[in-house]
Amino acid sequence: MSKNNRRKGHVYERYLAKLFRALGYEKCKTSREASRLYDNCGYDLWGIPFLVQAKAGYKKSRIKPDELFLKMEKAMEQFPEDERNLLKNYPKLIFNKLDGYKDENHIVSMMFKDFVKLQIELSVYKGILSSKEAKELYGQLL
């Protein structure tokens, strides 16, 4: 990895950490700052209820989300069992910033099951579904 790509990645991680702090996740830090284990596993942010991998650049050779999600899942084996059980409930997100900050250059990928979980939780929060209905949906869909 060239120094420029590495620098871009670190700048992007700090940008995302600042964004999540502004969204109310006050303890959010880059994993390089907060946890060597998180950083070694490829999770780039710490202190939020998501497993995030941040990628900057890659305009010509695009990332492969399916491969990154598998790597994130496999990396989880390094955590102690109690923490691993907690982390596997966190949605896995891949933030990919192509060159520039235009909306179309800033892409977030997630697994379908994580998207459905978030939508069900949002529906419970908004009062559209009861907790009982949400549990039934989880069972049917996931």
Q: How many whole angstroms separate alpha carbon 124 and alpha carbon 120?
A: 6
pLDDT of 142 > 80? The answer is no
Strand, helix or coil at 29?
Answer: strand
Q: What's the mean pLDDT in 74-80?
A: 87
**% of the chain beyond a pLDDT of 90:** 36
Q: Residue 95 has what pLDDT?
A: 92
Residue 67 token pair: 């491969």
- Check residue 2 and give its pLDDT: 63
Q: What is the C-alpha separation between 88 and 50, in angstroms, rounded?
A: 10
- Residue 96, CA atoms < 13 Å, CB-side half-sphere: 17
Is the pTM higher than 0.85? The answer reads no
